[in-house]
A and B are shown apart, each in its own frame.
Chain A
Amino acid sequence: QLQLQESGSGLVKPSQTLSLTCAVSGDSISSGGYSWSWIRQPPGKGLEWIGYIYQSGSAYFNPSLERRVTMSVDRSKNQFSLRLTSVTAADSAVYFCARGKLYYYDSGAYYFDYWGRGTLVTVSS
């Protein structure tokens, strides 16, 4: 059974960088046909896709965040990571990592079949 577990800084000061890691267990992050996403949810609000990365290291980001987002993958540790720079209070949210399963070959379309439990990140001085 695939499991994902987020970890990282729970409190970040404004203008600083948010860093999170998602550890994957139960399968290799190098398995084909999947992407590895970050999705966030401000308290009491809806879901926002941040971006995803492939095991190759290529990544796609939400255009509204792409100037501040980087993602990386560490196949040796079976984990992937998120960095979000210049954070403000609007970046306070529960951050989920999730596996994206390909809808069909070469579609570039993914649905999220496994999720981590989420980790709350608060931006405050």
Chain B
Amino acid sequence: DIQLTQSPSFLSASVGDRVTITCRASQGISSFLAWYQQKPGKAPKLLIYAASTLQSGVPSRFSGSGSGTEFTLTISSLQPEDFATYYCQQLNRNPSITFGQGSRLDIK
């Protein structure tokens, strides 16, 4: 399997801060990466696909970059509703679609 490792696993920040989460793949995956936001008791919500394409309806303060083995999700100015857990996902089924372990973003 392609392993995805997110860092940090936990972070705390304040409203208005710029935050970056990194996702590293155990082998190159081109731009076959998506990012999701999950709040407690809710299903994940798609934020970004193809490493950097913003899903329709997602605020522009979210952005993604990277290719190959290193990817980042950036929130340019944190809003209260952004405190959640974020997951990366590699898209290819061969041999299995996989997710990162998650990065929990808490209010400082």
Contacts and interface: CB of A to CB of B under 8 A. Distances in A.
Interface residues of A, number: 25
Contacts, number: 66
Interface in A75-112: 96, 98, 101, 103, 107-112
Q: Is the interface of B mostly helix, strand, loop or mixed?
A: loop
Contacts of A117: 42-43
A26 B42 CA distance: 20
A64 B95 CA distance: 10
Contacts of B92: 107-109
Contact of B43 (A48, A107, A116): A116
Q: Looking at chain A's contact residues, is the secondary structure mostly helix, strand, loop, or mixed?
A: strand
Interface residues of B, number: 26
Contacts of B102: 46-47
Contacts of B55: 113
- Max chain B Cβ within 10 angstroms of own Cβ: one of A64, A112, A113: A112
Interface string B36-51: 1000001111100110
